[in-house]
Amino acid sequence: MYDKTIAEQSRALTRGELSSVELTQSYLDRIRQFDGDINSYITVTEELALDQARAADERRASGDAGAMTGIPLAHKDLFCTEGVKTSCGSRMLDNFIAPYESTVTARFKDAGAVMLGKTNMDEFAMGSSNENSYYGPVKNPWDKAAIPGGSSGGSAAAVAARLAAGATGTDTGGSIRQPASHCGITGLKPTYGRVSRWGMVAYASSLDQAGPMTRSAEDAAIMLNTMAGFDPRDSTSLEHSVPDYTTTLNDSLEGLTIGLPKEYIAAGLDADVEKQIDRSITEYVKLGAKVKEVSLPNAGLCIPAYYVIAPAEASSNLSRFDGVRFGHRCEDPQDLMDLYLRSRSEGFGEEVKRRIIVGTYALSSGYYDAYYRKAQQIRRLIRDDFLDAFKECDVIMGPNAPTAAFDLGAINNDPVAMYLSDIYTLSVNLAGLPGLSVPVGMANNRPVGLQIIGQHFAEARLLNIGHRLQQVTDWHLQSPALI
């Protein structure tokens, strides 16, 4: 059953064809068998998972089960989980046992889902390859020489390798969509404010958003049903009604207008990736959609704007890791300055330090107007570009990344090249829009995903569009050779 979708597992559990304990055990066995190599988990909570599975089976027997009851999930290791290590992929939090539960994981707990463990990630969600983890890189299950993408690389790899039925991820600049794309799975970044950030360790607060990473769009809809909704503890979460995302999955795509930004076909876009994207759009035309060229004139500015705003917020968000109250503290500090300097120098990795320094600089007196304020202005332009484009189309489609997954170590020493690989995903976060990645084929034997960008709160429509493609194609059903 580990190879089935959440929807199928849920039906099987309902029909009594298997128990959550059996299902959970099968994933735990696979984790033991394969994850030593893939490295998608930082922590596996075996006992807790089996306890939760037993509770889920009882709950199902008592007739009080929902779609998520008994489904084994993996959570990105930046959701605080009470009593369980929450490391954020960092040495800084290697010793941090969260004393409280994030809203996202609490909602899954309440729904009766099982937590298999916490997944690997780029340190503090900063990275596009999952190579910036204190716990080592994650391998792409499709090709172990390749990166899985980042920062939710562990979640993507775990779902792709069938080491979890589904996973949570977070996306600040593409960290759900890009690894989903690279690992041949489905990933949704919801509208900013759709899912509560309470208990999600912050990277860049105005951009961070949690979402599901699954085998299919239908599974993403099932998970989002549990995740989405207003949370009084998150001032940026929005009081917008939550539909049942599964009920509109089969809606017709007749008359759907797909916008194709001319700026997206740029130099650097891999020809094989482009081909897979074109072919998937042809599928949509067959399903009744129309195609229209649109323009996002400021699209190219998303990289400089993002790499000012996100590090600026991060430099402040990560100030609390000072060795005083929790997290890494250096041995035998001589005085306060020594405590700060060594705790932070030892606790943070290179990329985190780089972004703290960049962000600190961007906010400094005398530079604020030139960097931070300017970046915020660009952010508004980018958002306006999208809103203008949506006057002419319903959704925008394009790639998630210029290439399929690159090799581990290939550009890890070239931060700018790494940043440039985010060009297709960053602007969606800057505009606060929802974006879905669905698998649409292979390039050089590595998966390619199609990015579908919608208007604010258009998650139901995006999932519908993704689901309809998955009714006529089987890319999402294919599994890596190791399975």
Q: Which residues bind another protein (CB under 8 A)?
A: 78-80, 86, 88, 93, 96, 98-100, 102, 197-202, 204-206, 232-236, 312-313, 315-316, 318-322, 324-327, 336, 340, 360, 363-365, 368, 372
Shortest distance, position 101 Cβ to another protein, whole Å: 10
Q: What does the block give as tokens for 347?
A: 């606790």
> Which of residues 280 and 427 has its CB atom nearest to another protein in the complex?
427
Residue 80 or 217 having the CB closest to another protein: 80
Residue type at 115? M
In the chain, what's the furthest Cα-to-Cα distance? 70
Amino acid identity at 53: A
Annotated active-site residue in 175, 237, 315, 437? 175
Cβ 320 to another protein shortest distance, Å: 4
Smallest distance, another protein to C-beta of residue 349, A: 16
Tokens of 391: 């006057």
User: Minimum CB separation from another protein for residue 241, in Å?
Assistant: 19
Cis peptide bond prior to 151, omega within 30° of 0: yes
E strand or H helix that includes residue 194? none
> Among residues 370 and 483, whose Cβ is nearest to another protein?
370
Phi, psi angles (nearest 5°) of residue 440: -135, 20
Q: Which is nearer to another protein, 129 or 172 (CB)?
A: 172
Rounded Cα distance, 121 and 410, in Å: 18
- Helices 6-14 and 217-227, interaxial angle, to 10°? 70
Active-site annotation holds for 437: no
d(CA 243, CA 234) in angstroms, rounded, equals 20
Q: Quick check: is 206 catalytic? A: no
Helices of type H across 402-457? 415-420, 426-431
Secondary structure (H, E, C), 149-187 = CCCCHHHHHHHHCCCCCEEEEEECCCCCHHHHHHCCCEE
Q: How many CB atoms lie within 10 A of CB 263?
A: 17
C-beta of 62 vs 365, nearer to another protein: 365
In angstroms, give the least distance from the CB of 201 to another protein: 4
Contact by Cβ (8 Å): 221, 249 = yes
Give yes or no for a contact between 264 and 424, defined as CB atoms under 8 angstroms apart: yes
| Given the residues 4, 76, 118, 139, the one annotated as active site | 76
- Closest separation between CB of residue 308 and another protein, Å? 11
* C-beta of 232 vs 288, nearer to another protein: 232
Q: Report in angstroms how near the CB of residue 361 gets to another protein at its nearest.
A: 9
Report yes or no: 197 and 243 within 8 Å, Cβ to Cβ.
Answer: no
| The pair of three-digit structure tokens given for residue 249, joined into one six-digit string | 């999955």
In terms of DSSP bridges, do strands 446-453 and 435-443 run parallel, antiparallel, or are they unpaired?
Answer: antiparallel
Question: Looking at 128, 151, 155, 315, which residue is catalytic?
Answer: 151
CA dihedral for 366, 367, 368, 369, sign (positive or negative): positive
Beta strand segments in 185-333, E: 186-189, 209-214, 257-261, 290-294
Rounded to whole angstroms, the Cα distance separating 34 from 141 reads 10
Q: Is 175 a catalytic residue?
A: yes
Nearer to another protein, 100 or 444 (CB): 100
Least distance between another protein and beta carbon 287 (Å): 39
Specify the residue, 97 or 287, whose C-beta has the smaller distance to another protein. 97
Report the catalytic residues. Answer: 76, 151, 175
